[in-house]
Amino acid sequence: MSETPPILIVDDQVKLVRLVTELMNRLGFPEVDGVSDGQQALEQLRSRRYGLVISDLDMEPMDGIQLLREIRSDDTLMNTPFILTETSFSFEDINVAHIAGADAFILKPFDLALLKTKLKQVLNGRPRKRDTPPTPVSSLKLDFPLLGRF
């Protein structure tokens, strides 16, 4: 068995699951599983430990945000890195996904170089802590060289 943790691809388009699987294999991830909806993804995540989830945003009946929220609310799964993919993201999509705990976003179609860059960022991230209180002071109360003091 490989030391590289398996990757889970979630997309309702089977062709895209195969494409992303192939890209991940080329990047050195030999174990890649694919499912076509969020509920199947949760079942897979609860039966096998994955090192990363790459999920489409727009799926039925459970979309990528709902899947992400389920993962982040589960103490066993909460630290699983999560990348959302979609053909276009609105500001609202990004904001909601960021609040839900997405680690990165990739626009489709994406190339190997972009995927590699995002993977490095996400897989080198820090684990989440459930009991971290929110910072009482806004990070915007800083002096920005071109914007002045907020």
- For the chain, which domains are there? 7-124 (3.40.50.2300)
Mean pLDDT confidence for 115-130? 78
More confident site: 28 or 129: 28
How much is the pLDDT for 127?
64
More confident site: 2 or 105: 105
User: pTM score, two decimals?
Assistant: 0.80
CA distance 145 to 55: 37
Angle (deg, nearest 10), helices 64-73 and 38-47: 30
